Amino acid sequence: MNENDKQLSAYLLWAFLLAWMLQAAAIGFAWNGQTHYFQLALLVSMYAPFAAVLLAKAPRDVGWGLKLRGKGTWVLAAWFGFAVLAALGAALYYLLFPRALDLSFGFLASQLGEEGLRQMEAQGLTLKTLLLIELAQALTYAPLINTFAALGEEVGWRGFLYPRLKERFGTAKGRLLGGAIWGVWHWPVIILAGYNYGTSYWGAPVLGPLLFCVICIALGTIIDYLYEKTDCIWIPALAHGAFNAVSGVGVLVLNPAYIGHTTIGPAPIGIVGGLPLLLMAGLLLGKSGRENV
């Protein structure tokens, strides 16, 4: 085993070990209804890949400098591209399942609860206004805030893992393998805590983890493409943060009766909601495959 293989093995060992320990804690918090601690443990786990790079003693220049002159198009793509894909996916989902659309915002009301609704009314807000505020946040400052959380993963995945996989297997195969690894990295919290899909969907607990691997392949392909175009780690972190910011917006108008169908949509982590994401990634994988020939 050469030095690169040793570093890669060490990186994967640390990335999974640290993250799965934190996910185990998150699962415990979820089972005890401690939502805030659950979210905190997951947030900390996002820095496991960054820590793994350091522990594997495999530093790499990931492009810390913001040398973005002439790259404004890619910055905008990172900031708003996933919002467009998520909107298209949600629109397709509600077109196919019109009864799932609830413009009385029943799901949003259920999330607020009685106390939240009273506070909202006391402030002179309506559910529609709250929805618009959520959308505005998802498109403006939320991606920037999420960037700092996503940075921990991006240094590890796109900054360290993907370049090595692409060097060994080619761009397309490297992205496919990298995305699958990224998806499996989430499996404990998906299977045991219902992260992203819940626990009562059709095909549980197998379909959700497998589907998320497919979504991670697509998501990682697009994010890695942006990284290649900018050579700046902050851009994939921004794109990752933007995806996290917009992925739940379409659910805010979901009929509560359909909440157990999240493997279908309307969020971009579902089969229908994720179709635009998958199509875009497929185009990029096809392009990289042709370039490797």
Q: How far apart are CA 155 and CA 163, in angstroms?
A: 11
Q: Does a structural domain hold residue 120?
A: yes
Q: How far apart are CA 94 and CA 13, in angstroms?
A: 41
Find residue 45's DSSP bridge partners. Answer: none
Contact between 24 and 38 (Cβ < 8 Å)? no
CB atoms within 10 A of CB 145: 13
Q: How far apart are CA 284 and CA 280, in angstroms?
A: 6
Closest CA to 14 of 43, 61, 53, 62: 53
> What average pLDDT values come out for the chain (293 residues) when binned by 10 residues?
84 97 97 96 97 87 85 96 98 97 89 84 87 94 97 96 95 97 98 94 93 98 97 97 96 92 95 98 86 60
Q: Does a structural domain hold residue 83?
A: yes
Q: Is 252 helix (H, G, I), strand (E, B) or coil?
A: helix
Q: How far apart are CA 40 and CA 208, in angstroms?
A: 22
Q: What pLDDT shows up at residue 209?
A: 97
Residues contacting 169, CB < 8 A, separation 6+: 177
Cα 17–chain centre separation: 20
Q: Does a structural domain hold residue 42?
A: no
Written as one letter, the residue type at 228 is E
Q: What pLDDT shows up at residue 50?
A: 96
Tokens 């805010």 belong to 252
The total number of structural domains that make up the chain: 1
CB atoms within 10 A of CB 120: 17
Q: Does a structural domain hold residue 35?
A: no
Q: Does a structural domain hold residue 275?
A: yes
Query: Which residues form the domain of 269?
Result: 67-292
Q: Does a structural domain hold residue 27?
A: no
